[in-house]
Amino acid sequence: MPTLWIKNARVIDPAAKRDAVGDVFVKNGRIAASLSATEKKRAKVIDATGLVACPGLVDVHVHFREPGQTHKETIATGTRAAAAGGFTTVVCMPNTTPPASNSGTIQFINDAIKRDAVVHVYPTGCITVDMKGEALAPIGSLARAGVVAITDDGDCVQSNELMRRACEYAKMFNLPLMDHCQDHSMTVGAVMNEGEVSTRLGLRGWPNAAEDIIVSRNVILSTYTGAHIHMQHISSQNAVEILRRAKARGIRVTAEATPHHIALTDAALGTYNTHFKMNPPLRTEEDRQAIIAGIKDGTIDIIATDHAPHTNYEKDKEFDFAPNGILGLETALPVTLGVLVREAKMKLPRVIDLMTRQPAALLGLPAGTLAPDAVADVCLFDPDEKWTYDAGAGFSKSSNSPWNGATLRGRVKATIVSGKLVYDGKRILE
């Protein structure tokens, strides 16, 4: 494994409160405080003048579709898309076919990760058996199989009693619960946000209340059981306020926002483009601004992509029948920078923190820092470079992105995983 000397970068490491032009050293797959004169002579030098060097990005919410849906994505293609987006650690959701609700399926996923992944991948397990919401999955055996959290993401446990018991078991095994907050009784047949735009387009609306009710339920259950419940892809301004009040009381709840929910609104659906169809749906400008405010004041803890690949023939249907979900890994950094740094005027180190240290800490992952002896996971990016995103030429197996053809600002130039350069700004290096 080569020794690396990354020179003249703006080094941003929120975990160490470091933000200065300097060097990063990599030796034996780990971050080194320094190199000897002899080691510097032998090191592979990366001139990072004008670039930002930060810990490899961490995404706790991706769908890699393996097993059973490999026509959409695989561990191999998904991790290559992650590397191209600057991500070195990702957490994959269990809504595969079959769902990851037993240790055998987790073992299958771990075998695929070991064989095919180019970044670090951690699996989650289901809350309920086969994600049917009827009986608890064997949470203890899932924990022993190596899951880092439990979730029925893509669905939501509707039974409050079942969710209560899940909280008790998750706390027992020190596992966070990650919840997709959706009251199914309020979203039957719904395909987009309920409001002026849905009325004008003649599409069935999806009210904020469907999210707000479950967020409230989860706050109550966390209060009651002491379990850590993480709210996935928050989209409602009311949900942000519910979480803000809960956190002020010290309740063990956390939340994430996606790049698409901070960048887009339901106005984007005017042409019935299914690449803007997602769950939860894009909401109003008021909701978008509330989410940004929640990020700024710490109510929302992290950015996560909800990377959800679908084939062109699945998305190329009438709006009502197309599946929910979009790609996110290769565009997350520039989209997030555009909204939080350039629009919301947040400091770059704070935004990097939302995508590195904080998501790693949320699930206790060994990532998110450039401290000496840490695993050498590094992202190098140019925060100002403009480029046109071509989803069809990306590294994912699918191309369902609302940013296809868009000009983005901020581009990943290199991704280093465990001391190995796996992406050089153009290619994945095997």
3-state secondary structure 285-314: HHHHHHHHHHHHCCCCCEECCCECCCCHHH
43 within 8 A of 4, measured Cβ to Cβ: yes
The answer as to whether 83 is a domain residue is yes
Q: How many of the other CB atoms lie within 10 Å of CB of 163?
A: 26
Of 380, 285, 383, the closest CA to residue 334 belongs to 383
Active site residues: 306
Q: What angle, rounded to 10 degrees, do the helices at 237-248 and 209-225 form?
A: 20
22 domain-assigned: no
Classify residue 8: in a domain, yes or no.
no
And the tokens for 105? 């399926």
What is the C-alpha separation between 218 and 328, in angstroms, rounded?
26
Distance, in Å, from the CA atom of 18 to the CA atom of 289, rounded to the nearest integer, reads 29
The candidate with the shortest Cα–Cα distance to 362, out of 160, 61, 66, 110, is: 61
Cα gap 308→149, rounded to integer Å? 19
Residue 32 belongs to some domain of the structure: no
d(CA 236, CA 304): 16
With respect to residue 102, please indicate whether it lies within any of the assigned structural domains. yes
The span from the CA of 404 to the CA of 390, in Å, is 5
Helix or strand run (H / E) with residue 384: strand 378-388
The token pair at 357 is 């240290």
> What does the alpha-carbon distance between residue 3 and residue 39 come to, in Å, rounded to a whole number?
7
Residue 374 lies in a domain: no
27 within some domain: no
Query: Does pTM top 0.85 for this prediction?
Result: yes
Neighbours of 426 (CB within 10 A): 8
Distant-in-sequence, close-in-space partners of 254: CB < 8 Å, separation ≥ 6:
176, 228, 229, 230, 231, 301, 302, 362
Mean pLDDT for back-to-back runs of 10 residues, the chain (430 residues): 95 97 98 97 97 98 98 98 98 98 98 98 98 98 98 97 98 98 98 97 98 98 98 98 98 98 97 98 98 98 98 96 98 98 98 98 98 98 98 97 98 98 95
Euclidean distance between CA atoms 177 and 155, whole angstroms: 13
How many CB atoms lie under 10 A from the CB of residue 149?
27
Q: 145 in a domain, yes or no? A: yes
Supply the range of the domain harboring residue 237: 56-363
- Taking residue 335's Cβ as centre, other Cβ atoms within 10 Å add up to 25
Q: Is 125 helix (H, G, I), strand (E, B) or coil?
A: strand
Euclidean distance between CA atoms 367 and 372, whole angstroms: 12
The CATH number of the domain where 88 resides is what?
Answer: 3.20.20.140
Q: Is the dihedral of CA 423, 426, 429, 430 positive or negative?
A: positive
Could you tell me the CA-to-CA distances from 291 to 187, 241, 339 in Å, in that order?
A: 21, 10, 11
| Count of structural domains, the chain | 1
Tell me which DSSP letter residue 394 carries. Answer: S
CB atoms inside a 10 Å sphere around CB 90: 30
Query: Closest by alpha carbon to 103, among 139, 61, 76?
Result: 139
Distance (Å, whole) CA 285 – CA 135: 39
Residues 246 and 238: their CA atoms lie apart, in Å, by 13
